[in-house]
Amino acid sequence: MEDFPAKAVKGSKPTDHGIGKGTGTFRVLGIDPGSHVTGYGVVEGGANGLRCILHGEIRPVRGASLPTCLQTILGGIREVIRNSTPQAMAVENIFYGKNIRSLIKQGHVRGVAILAGADDGMPIYEYSPLEIKKAVVGYGRAEKGQVQRMVRAILKLPGLPPPDAADALAVAICHIHFRKTDPI
């Protein structure tokens, strides 16, 4: 298997501040799957609240073939997993209102994300956009900007995360709050 360059993953750098996974914390990788932009966010929950470990977006080269896009996304997610060692993955479920071609592409990206998590042996959970928005904003029909602002406030980030990274952080926050017991 080929290694993918770090440039495929853009975002914040991982931070640890001496908090290990054995100290009552729980680290979740949230994924917002998209064929043009896949957002990722790693959030750690513990006695001191929630903390952003890293976030960013994986952007395949514009105009690349579907297999090449999927390879870039798979490599990027694997790199995020290596750099952040999450204990679980939460993936946004497919939004049914899109056109069929977009749904199919999004399904391929979800499959690649799920494969990356499964290869690492972590449990994988899924949440609908409605569940995610309700958990973060309190309203299931919230706009992207509202999600960005609430994620920034909840995680005490210095600035707004990019839209797809904010959605991925929201997925991770949602899982930390709900902690479904049955993985997909």
**Within-domain flag for 101:** yes
User: pLDDT by residue (tens digit) across 86-122?
Assistant: 999 999 998 766 688 888 999 999 999 999 999 999 9
Structural domain including 79 reads 6-178
**Within-domain flag for 131:** yes
Helix H or strand E segment including 26: strand 26-32
For residue 57, what pLDDT is reported? 97
What is the value of pTM for the model shown?
0.86
For residue 134, what pLDDT is reported? 92
**Within-domain flag for 109:** yes
For residue 9, what pLDDT is reported? 41
For residue 101, what pLDDT is reported? 87
Query: Residue 151 sits in a domain of what CATH number?
Result: 3.30.420.10
Q: For every residue of 42-55, which 3-state class applies, written as one string? A: EEEEECCEEEEEEE
Active site residues: 32, 92, 164
**Within-domain flag for 184:** no
183 backbone φψ class: left, alpha, beta (φ>0; ψ -120 to 50)? beta
E strand residue ranges, 81-181: 88-92, 124-127
Per-residue pLDDT of the chain (184 residues; tens, 9 = 90+): 223 333 334 444 444 332 334 458 899 999 999 989 999 999 999 988 999 999 999 999 999 999 999 999 999 999 999 999 999 999 999 876 668 888 899 999 999 999 999 999 999 999 999 999 999 998 878 888 899 999 999 999 999 999 999 999 999 999 999 888 888 8
For residue 142, what pLDDT is reported? 82
**Within-domain flag for 137:** yes
Q: Is 43 exposed, middle or buried (0-12, 13-18, 19+ CB in 10 A)?
A: buried
9-11 vs 26-32, strand pairing mode: unpaired
